[in-house]
Amino acid sequence: MKVHFDISHPAHLNFFRPAIVRLQGDGHRVLLSVLDRGPLVSITRRELPGVRLFISGRHRGGVLSVILEANIIKFFRLLGFFLRERPDVTLSCGGFVAGAAARLFSRPDYQFDDDPERKNNVRLEKLTATLLFFPPVTLPDKKIRIYNGVKEWAYLSPRSFTPDISALAEYEVRPGEYLFVRAVSVGTLNYLYQDTNAVIGGMIRAAGAQRVLLSLEKKADRALFPEHWTILKEPVKDIHSLIYYSRCLISSGDSMAREACVLGVPSYYCGGRRMAVNDFLKSTGLFHEVSPDELSERIGEEAGNDESREQLRAKMEEEWDDLTVLITGLATGNGVQVCDRLNK
């Protein structure tokens, strides 16, 4: 099988990576179309050496770039890609552009999403996808199937990820003795409304004098944060181990906040974007949705040690679906039984 994955965000790369590795090991040919967005292309080359890459479009931040370069130009470039490569199947996250190209070439297209709030996107996904997969944040229908869990579980479950304490040595920190802070850029459609000053001020007050590892999407904002905070060096090696061993995570972006939660780490999301998938994760007791002003009061609700975190993760593993099995099944044409099992 010639399997095409369309990647437009680092979280999408992480989501599909275990399945890509498994498919390659089983002898399938994997093709990647990747959006030129920040360090995404270099990260993809580092994480998946030897996989053929096609640069599908660009995302330079701002509404015009999103509409023109990351969607319209991307669509026409993908048409050329499909004409040359003729993939047997396409998989993507929120990838209605790739889905539209696949549809024109009569190829099956499977899309994953976790954001039913973006109703126009969901309409386009349902129009272009063979099937569309959601966590339990919406209802199934003719096109939508529901899996139990969240997409971050595909690459952070105990089957896929084992924390490595040696990752801490580069930053001279010890488990549980530092905060992990993630600050996203407001140059995206999802966070154009975010008050950067309010978010950064809340983070600084909440951290106080504690040791902080800072994951900063927009490096030009470095001067807005305290000098004693340690900024992570790009490309960041084993960022998920750094999150796992932190006392807790504070994030203005939703993706990394969910990653911390499924790692068993107390997560404080202060980005202000309301999402049903975040509400689903609140049942774990680890995901806290707070305003920047509330951060100082709420920090301290964190749960225990490595042993308790692994107990929480074991519970998730028992209850949630194995998404790598689902993805590889869809990719190889053996996903019918997996799909039939969902929603019964």
φ, ψ of residue 128 to 5 degrees: the values are: -105, -20
pTM assigned to the model: 0.87
What value does the mean pLDDT take over residues 86-94? 95
pLDDT of 62 > 80? The answer is no
Q: What is the pLDDT of residue 187?
A: 54
What value does the mean pLDDT take over residues 109-114? 96
Of 328 and 61, more confident: 328
What value does the mean pLDDT take over residues 252-277? 93
Q: What is the pLDDT of residue 252?
A: 93
Instruction: Determine which of 87-101, 191-205, 211-225 has the lowest per-residue pLDDT on average.
Output: 191-205
Instruction: Determine which of 43-47, 61-65, 253-257, 278-282 has the lowest per-residue pLDDT on average.
Output: 61-65
CA 222, CA 215: separation in Å to the nearest integer? 10
Q: What is the pLDDT of residue 305?
A: 64
pLDDT of 304 > 60? The answer is no
Tell me the torsion sign for CA atoms 154, 217, 60, 32. Answer: negative
Q: What is the CA radius of gyration of the chain?
A: 20
pLDDT of 286 > 80? The answer is yes
pLDDT of 284 > 60? The answer is yes
pLDDT of 130 > 80? The answer is yes
pLDDT of 337 > 70? The answer is no
Q: What is the pLDDT of residue 100?
A: 96
What value does the mean pLDDT take over residues 132-153? 95
What value does the mean pLDDT take over residues 283-289? 92
Of the chain, the percentage scoring pLDDT greater than 90 comes to: 73
What is the pLDDT confidence band of residue 201, given thresholds at 50, 70 and 90?
very high
- The encoded tokens of residue 57 equal 């479009």
- Exposure class string for 109-144: b at 16+ Cβ within 10 A, else e: bbbbbbbbeeeeebebbbebbbbbbbbebbeeeeeb
Going by C-alpha positions, the residue among 288, 307, 312 that lies closest to residue 206 is 288
What value does the mean pLDDT take over residues 159-185? 94
What value does the mean pLDDT take over residues 234-238? 82
Domains of the chain with CATH codes: 2-148+321-341 (3.40.50.2000), 165-318 (3.40.50.2000)
Q: What is the pLDDT of residue 38?
A: 83
Q: What is the pLDDT of residue 196?
A: 80
Q: What is the pLDDT of residue 302?
A: 63
